[in-house]
Amino acid sequence: MAVALALSMALAQRIGDKFGVEAKVIEGPMASRTMTFTDALKAGAMALRSHFLNFGIELADRDSVAEPVVFSAPPQGGTVGEYIENIFDQVPTYEYEIVSQHTVSVFPRGAKDDPHNILNLRVPRFDVQDQHAGWILGFPSMFIPELDARLFPPTPGKQHKQHITMFIGPVPQGPKVTVHLRDVSIREILNAVSVATERPKGDGRDDAPYGWIYRSTTPAGEKKPYFGVIATLPPNWRDLVFPGPATPR
């Protein structure tokens, strides 16, 4: 059930839309309403029918508790590019980059150039073999020692010890992935893991493609970094991810 993936530094560069994602048509119905920035992105992706999208979303510190609110108009018949641009026109402090056929990276303007941004932390190598994508995206410090050391620095005079992570509530496992990267940022790792879930080789029960979200404040309001898993799949996603005469339900 593993998906092998090896990505280079090209993932970090602005590659434009060479995958044709922005030209995809949004066929499903949507209602006109106001919603948060991330909910609007999810809504557009969930209204797709012949394509699916993952989002890797980094929220700015100021938006980590109360996100910007946008007006989402029904784009039925419009394109993904038109829909996304409408959202980002309302939230000009953010930008996005398409990193694969199904994955879009979203981040605050200037975030990728901020040396203090934790997602820009460089990692000399990242290797996971047959690990559940949901665990990596939700608890990346368990798989990235450099991130663990940054998030949980040692007390002066004491040796750093691996912290214990508690799993509270349901944790989506997701498909198992195998990813090997060299000299990459935390953001690139998270995007690469999301890309690795695009073509899982499971039976569709717990092999859904996943995106990720990062906040500097937890949903409960605690001022500490929070990593989470998000799904933005249309209702017919199994037919898109597992095409064939017999689609598992």
* CA–CA separation, 182 and 194 (whole Å): 17
Residue 92 lies in a domain: yes
194 confidence band (pLDDT: 50, 70, 90): very high
Alpha helix positions (H), 79-119? 80-90
Over residues 114-125, the mean pLDDT reads 96
Average the pLDDT over each of 2-16, 97-111, 181-195, 205-219 and give the range with the smallest value: 2-16
Q: Is 150 a residue whose pLDDT tops 50? A: yes
Number of domains observed in the structure of the chain = 1
Average the pLDDT over each of 21-25, 92-96, 164-168 and give the range with the smallest value: 164-168
Residue 247 lies in a domain: no
Q: Is 165 a residue whose pLDDT tops 70? A: no
Query: Highest-confidence range of 4-18, 81-95, 211-225, by mean pLDDT?
Result: 81-95
Q: Is 5 a residue whose pLDDT tops 50? A: no
Residue 246 lies in a domain: no
Phi, psi of 3 (to 5 degrees): -115, 115
Burial label for 224, CB within 10 Å (0-12, 13-18, 19+), is: exposed
Q: Which two tokens stand for residue 74?
A: 């029904």
Residue 13 lies in a domain: yes
SS3 142: helix
Residue 245 lies in a domain: no
Over residues 227-244, the mean pLDDT reads 91
Residue 242 carries which side chain, given as an amino acid letter? F
Residue 129 lies in a domain: yes
First to last CA, the chain: 17
Whole-prediction pTM: 0.86
Question: Would you mind telling me the total number of residues written for the chain in this entry?
Answer: 249
161 confidence band (pLDDT: 50, 70, 90): low
pLDDT (tens digit per residue) in 24-82: 999 998 888 999 999 999 999 999 999 999 999 999 999 988 999 999 876 678 999 99
Residue 249 lies in a domain: no
**Domain that residue 30 falls in:** 3-154+162-239
pLDDT, residue 227, reads 95
